[in-house]
Amino acid sequence: MFNKILIANRGEIACRVIRTARKLGVRTVAVYSDADENAMHVAMADEAVHIGGPASRDSYLVFERVIEAAKQTGAEAIHPGYGFLSENADFCNACKENNIVFIGPPVGAIEAMGSKSAAKNIMGEADVPLVPGYHGEDQSRDIIKKAADDMGYPVLLKAAAGGGGKGMRQVWKEEEFDEALAAAKREAINGFGDDTMLVEKYLTQPRHVEIQVFCDQHGNAVYLFERDCSVQRRHQKVIEEAPAPGMTKEIREAMGQAAIRAAQAIDYEGAGTVEFLLDKDGSFYFMEMNTRLQVEHPVTEYISGQDLVEWQLRVASGEKLPLTQDQLQINGHAFEARVYAEDPDNDFLPVTGTLSFLQPPVESENVRVDTGVRQGDEVSIYYDPMIAKLIVWDEDRDKALSRLTKALSEYRISGMTTNLDFLYNLANSKPFREADLDTGFIEKHNDAIFHSGEQEVARDLPLAALYLVLYREQIASQKASLSPDRHSPWNTTSAWRLNEQHIQEFSLILRDQEYPVKVEQLTAEPTRYSITCNNKTIDAQGVLIDKSTLRSNIDGYQVNATVTHHDDLFSVYTPDNALTFSVAKPDLGDLDMDASGGGLTAPMNGTMVTHLVEAGAGVKKDDALCVMEAMKMEHTIVAPADGVVKAFYYQPGELVDGGAELLDFERNN
Ligand code: ADP
């Protein structure tokens, strides 16, 4: 085993690797950029070396600096985590040249799988089934287009060097081909510096099922079963689980064997993942092999009882695989939910900010939180907006799912919009509970997940109001108990009036809509209220069992809700959905700056990528005007109406603050 390793990564995965290294008595070296000087991974490591500026191309991607840091600290091996340099053949070579062990596969395997097109050729030869498509070297537009036309639409364009759903575009009809090709190429150049494309038949309802494989340097290979990663947005995984629901023994074995053939075809060593699309009829097709540890590896760890980072370190230091195929078993069921700083109501655009309050659920045998941030840390524009991975385990899928929703309802984050409500609603939705999974899950079940229905609002609004009133009363009585004059009328926040009933009026905001609320305390019974909102007056009773559990009876419907609250935001979690309200600030006049209709301000902090029209051009409503990028995700800004683009305020390459005016737009009358 190594004495000291360097982790060429940041965030949760760097912390994750450090934890196992520590367990094994291996010392750790972190590397960090200017933006990460005080980051959690830096604090956790035994040593840390500064390697450059905040943008990853100036630090985490500069492999010469990483190698230098390893040499300077005497690290014998480098764990690359995922992303960054983890699948970079040049980096792997540079490690070798400097006598540093790369904790991952040999360079030949990375090269073979580095290009999705080349990988397909190899897999075809190893008898691994492929999705029909074109993955040739001739990259002329006409050849790719002809392949698409011949196959028939829909097709999927993919960057050969791609990953993480970037550089990928669905094309539903021929007319969309050119724009999609241009966008995919642009994203590929920005993300990977290579715009080689392949095109595949787009399967409309497949599941994404992947096999974890492990190989050692002694010719042994095993598979640690599958993960179902069908629930995706923007082709990126959101909730993963293991084992895959409904998986038969036969398909599991066939897939496992195909994955091992795939790994052995490229003389694999270490941890790898072979991704397949699983069609309704049980046939499966190779998509790609990721030659590194996956983000979602913890679900496999839970069901197999193994520590995959430990396996990686053992294999890289020359040991044999800890177990044989016969010794591996599936035990129970695990889920992973990726908690992101992003806005599900705004096309999942990444958001940035400071984590002003952060309280994950309590960890236990059944609940694990892998994170790389602490309260007070920034989610910046420079890196992936993932805040944490929440992983749960139990004996079967139903029980594990209950663990997941409970843990999600206990997660408290303030300072930025997150996808927590979305995850909760998704995990609670009927189709997810019934495991009706395919890669179109989110689009298909949009209504069930987003709960934008009046019904939920009508039910949760009084709950939020009731919570707010009870919470304010609790604070008031706490304050009063500390005060020398406990009965002073100044120590109450209920709207106390001499000889009048207690009435509080305020407004709650949900998805930009303001709901005025009036809560009247019925003096005869202190726990009873009359709540008027949404043009209805209802009878409500409630008590706070603890800081965040509200026992309520709203017009004869009794429910225990979890309510989390920080600053002005209240998230109400009922047994089947989650809604976050904010308390409206007192009206200070018209502060609406966004009179243009919202389309022309930057939706997030990011970079201007390209202008799609010239300044001075006349455009039609919904024409694409320019493209912004944040955290490697592109977002197209479209014209809000017919009009003229008079000027762009930002040139390609310039950084743009979220909310900034992007261009001068004049509407046609
Ligand atoms: P990346 O490396 O960018 O993650 P993948 O090739 O792994 O890209 O594909 C990511 C996701 O895109 C898959 O999980 C699946 O949902 C979808 N996908 C990929 N290829 C196809 C296809 N041919 N048909 C339908 N969906 C696909």
3-class SS letters over 557-608:
EEEEEEEEEECCEEEEEECCEEEEEEECCCCCCCCCCCCCCCCCECCCCEEE
> In whole angstroms, what is the distance from residue 257 CA to residue 278 CA?
15
Stretch 229-240: mean pLDDT, rounded? 93
Q: Which atom of ligand 1 is nearest to the CA of 204?
A: 25
Q: Which residue is associated with the tokens 């998805």?
A: 511
Q: What is the pLDDT of residue 49?
A: 98
pLDDT digits (tens, 9 = 90+) for 35-76: 999 999 999 999 999 999 999 999 999 999 999 999 999 999
**Among 207, 292, 368, 403, the one annotated catalytic:** 292
Distance (angstroms) between ligand 1 centre and the Cα of 235 equals: 7
Mean of pLDDT values over 622-630: 85
Give the integer Cα–Cα distance in Å for 567 and 554. 25
Tell me the pLDDT tens digit for each residue of 469-522: 888 888 777 767 766 665 665 555 454 444 445 788 899 988 778 899 999 888
Instruction: Please say if 292 is a catalytic residue.
Output: yes
Measured CA to CA, the distance from residue 324 to residue 213 in angstroms comes to: 12
Q: Which of 271, 243, 266 is nearest to 255 (CA)?
A: 243
Q: Where are the beta strands (DSSP E) in 601-662?
A: 606-611, 618-619, 624-630, 633-638, 643-648, 655-656
Cβ of residue 440 lying under 6 Å from some atom of ligand 1: no
Domain pair 4-103 / 207-450, same fold = no
Surface-to-core class of residue 571, CB atoms within 10 Å of its CB (0-12 exposed, 13-18 middle, 19+ buried): buried
User: What is the identity of the amino acid at 283?
Assistant: S
CATH of domain 4-103: 3.40.50.20
Alpha-carbon Rg for the chain in angstroms: 27
Q: Which residue has the tokens 């997941």?
A: 404
The domain locations on the chain are 4-103, 132-201, 207-450, 454-583, 597-667
| Ligand 1 atom nearest to 200, measured from its CA | 23
Nearest ligand 1 atom to alpha carbon 116: 6
The CATH architecture that domain 597-667 belongs to is Beta Barrel (2.40)
Ligand 1 within 6 A of 7 CB?
Answer: no
Give Cβ neighbours of residue 235 (< 8 Å, ≥ 6 apart): 165, 168, 439
Judged by phi (left if over 0) then psi (alpha if -120 to 50, else beta), residue 171 lies in: beta
CA of 228 to the centre of ligand 1 (A): 13
Q: What is the pLDDT of residue 585?
A: 72
- Please give the structure tokens belonging to residue 151: 């196959």
Return the higher-pLDDT residue of 524 and 217. 217
pLDDT of residue 597: 39
pTM: 0.82
Ligand 1 centroid to residue 237 C-alpha, Å: 10
Q: Nearest CA to 337 among 230, 240, 215?
A: 240
Distance between CA atoms of residues 597 and 323, nearest Å: 60
Q: How far is the CA of 8 from the centre of ligand 1 (A)?
A: 27
Which tokens go with 544?
């706070």
Mean of pLDDT values over 255-281: 96
**CA angle 136–141–147, rounded 5-degree value:** 55
Contacts of 264 (CB under 8 A, 6+ apart): 126, 215, 221
Q: Is the CB of 439 under 6 A from ligand 1?
A: yes
Residue 227 has pLDDT above 70, yes or no: yes
Q: Is 203 helix (H, G, I), strand (E, B) or coil?
A: coil
Average pLDDT, the chain: 90
Q: Please report which residue ranges of 626-669 form alpha helices under DSSP H.
A: none
State how far Cα 359 lies from the chain centre.
18
361 Cβ below 6 A of ligand 1: no
Mean pLDDT score, 116-124:
90
Q: Which of 277, 278, 291, 444 to mutate to test the pocket of ligand 1 (most atoms within 8 A of CB)?
A: 277
**148: nearest Cα among 133, 163, 160, 165:** 133
Candidates 168, 338, 444: which one to mutate for ligand 1, based on the most atoms within 8 Å of Cβ? 168
Reported CATH class of domain 132-201: alpha beta
CATH superfamily of 207-450: ATP-grasp fold, B domain (3.30.470.20)
Top-confidence residue, 640 or 225 = 225
* pLDDT given for residue 426 in this prediction: 95
- Please state the atom number of ligand 1 nearest to the C-alpha of residue 237: 14
**CA–CA dist 58, 86 (Å, integer):** 16
So what's the pLDDT on residue 604?
A: 76
Please identify, in words, the CATH class of the domain defined by 454-583: alpha beta
Residue 418 has phi, psi (to 5 degrees) of -130, 175
For CA atoms 12, 13, 15, 16, the dihedral sign is positive
